[in-house]
Structure 1
Amino acid sequence: MEPSKIRKIGASKTPIDLAREVLLIEAREVEALARRLDDSFTRAVELILQCQGRIVVTGMGKSGHIGNKIAATFASTGTPAFFVHPAEASHGDLGMITGKDVVIALSNSGEADELRVILPTLKRMGARLISITGHPQSTLAKAADVSLDAHVTEEACPLALAPTASTTASLALGDALAIAVMDQRGFSAEEFALSHPGGTLGRKLLLHVRDVMRTGDAIPSVGVEASLKEGLLEMSRKGLGMTAIVDAEQHAVGVFTDGDLRRAFENAVDINSTYMRDVMHTSPQQIRPEQLAVDAVAIMEHKKITSLLVTDQQGTLIGALNMHDLLIAKVV
C-alpha cells in the first residue's frame, strides 16, 4: 500500500462516520471487482464444473477465514468442497487432496510461504489450481491454471494495515464463483433443502401436509345427519376448533368452526333440534396430503382461516390440520 493511501484517524471523526466510510470503501472495491470480471472467471467456472473430485479451498490467516466460508458456500450449493489449512497441508493434510480435485487458493499478496511450499506437490499430483489474489504477477497467480484478480486500491482500515476491503473482495468473488457454478448445474431449491434439513428453508421445502396432519381418530368429523350437539361434542373432543361433515362415502361435504358456533348462538339456534347440514359451510377448504406444508400456511393466510381438511383425489377425508400444528412443525 502506498504511503499516500494511509489515512490518519481524525479526532473529530465519529464511530458512525468511520463506519460509513468503511462500508462505502468496501462497496466501491466490490463494485470495481464486478466491472473488471473477464474470461478468466468463465474458465474458473468451467474448471470447477469439469472437476471429477472435490473443491479444496485453502488460505492463510484472514484469507483462510474467507476460504472456510467459500468452501461452505460451495458445499451448500451442490458442489462438494472442504477447507484445508496450508500449514497443516505440508505436515500431512496434503493426503486429503487428490489429482482429481480443484484447489482454490486465496492470498492477497500471492506470496504466502505456506502456500508456496505446497504448490509443487499440488502440481505433481495433477490437481488443478485456481488462485484468488490481489497481485496478478505473484508466485501464486503464475502457478495457477486460472488466476482471478481480486486486487483493491485501498483497504478500509484507516492505517491501511488490517485486511478489510481485500478480504471482502475475495469473499464476494468466491461467492460469485459458487453461485455461478450452482446456476450452471441447475441446482434447485429442493436440492438446497436436502442439505439444510434443520433450517427454516429445509422444513418449508421438505415437510409435506401428510407429515403434520392429524389422522384416524384424531380427525374431527360427523355425518350430515348429525345434530349440532353431536358436532359440538366432536369439536370439543378433538380440539381443532372445527369439525368436518362427511357423507356416507366419507367425502368432505362441509365444515363447521368455532366462528360458526358463535354465529349460531347469536341466532339462538337450538343445538338439539338443529342438524349439521343446516349450519355447515359447504365446499370447505381442502388440501392434498402430498402438497407442501407451507402451501397450507399460504391457503390459511389467504382465506383467513385457521384449519384445513385433507382429502385425497376422490375427495375422501383422510386428515385435518390447523395453524397450531404448523407452528409446532416450525413451518410458520
Structure 2
Amino acid sequence: MQACCLSGRWAGFFRVYIAKALKIPYTENRAWIFPGQGSGRDIEERAGEEEMSYGAVIAVPPSYREELKQRGEDEGFRYLERIIVSLRRAGIRDLVLLGRKEGEAFPDRFKFRGLVLLPGTGTGLLEDVREGLCYLRERCAGVFFCPLTVPFFKTETLERMMEGKGSLILPSFRGRTGHPILFSSEAMKEIFSYHGGGGLRDACGALPESLIERIAVEDEGILVHVSHGGDFEELERKSEARLIRPELRLRISREKPIFGPGMVTLLRQIEALGSVREACERTGISYSKAWTMIHNCERELPFLVVERHPGGKYGGAASLSKRGKDFLLRYEAFSREMDRISEEKFQEFFGDFFPA
C-alpha cells in the first residue's frame, strides 16, 4: 500500500494540517501518496535528523518497591501514568522502566507506548540507572532520570531542561534542586566511569561543577517525593487535571491497521536487540502476537520490514530491512508532527477548559 486515503466529512480538515506538518503545498485534488523510493527526500532528511532524540529512564527506588507491596501496585501504576504523559507531551518517546521482573503482571495499557521493561541489576539504584542509560545512549542525545516517587513535575519543566546547555541539568525550585535530572552523552560517560563506591547522588556530585547546569523552574512538583509522606493533595489534584490531553493513535491502514504505535514499539526493540523473542520480553508483547503483527504489516506493504537470519542458539536473529527502518523513521517523524499539531489545536479549542 502506498496511498494514504482520507475521506469523509473531516477529510479536508486533516489534509490541510497534514500538508502543513509535512511542509508540502495543499491542493484540493492532490493525490495523497506516501513517498516511496526515490521521492520524499526532504521528509527522509527530517526523519534522519530527528532520530537522535531524548529518552527517559523511570526507576522504582528499592525502598519504595517494598512500600508498594503493602499499598498495592495500582498506586505505582497511577504515578507511572502521570510520568509517561508528561514525558510524551514533551516529545520524549524512548522510555525505559527499571525494576519489572520477568513474569510480573503488567497492565496492557502500557505495552504499546514505547515503554521498554528492564529488570534492573538488583545491586542498587546507580547500577540500575547505568543499565538504563546504556540501553538508550546510542540513539538519544540526552536521557532523563525519573524516580517513580517524583510523579508531579510539569511538561514545561522538561522543555526548559531540554533548552539547557550543561552536561548534567538539574531543575531548581526556590533554590532547591529536584527531579527529573537530564544526562547528556558527556555526563553519561562520567556516570559510567565513576568508581567512588557511593550511589547515584554521589556519582552526580563527583561531576566537575563546570558540567552542571541548574535551571530555575516554577514547579514545586520536582521536590515532592510521594514516599516521604506529607500533604500533597493539592499538587496531586493539579497533576490529575493535566492528564486531560489530546491523544492520537495514528495508524496507517487498508481494511485493517497495518502500522501504528504497537509496531513502532516492537520494531524499535528488534532493531536494538537483534531478536524478535528478546524484543517481546522487553515490551511485554507475546511472541505469537509479535509475528502476527509483522506478517500482517508485510502482507500489505510492498517490501520486507524484518529481515530474518536463521540459525543460532536461540533460533536465529532479526533486524530491520533498509526500507523497513526508513518507513519506521518516517512514521515517527510524521507522528511527532501530528502530535504537535494536535496539542496546538487542543489548546486553541479547549485551552480555557484545560490549561496546559
TM-score, with structure 1 as normaliser? 0.22
Of structures 1 and 2, the one scoring higher in RCO (CA 8 A, sep 6+) is 2
The TM-score with structure 2 as length reference comes to 0.21
Query: Which has the larger Rg?
Result: 1
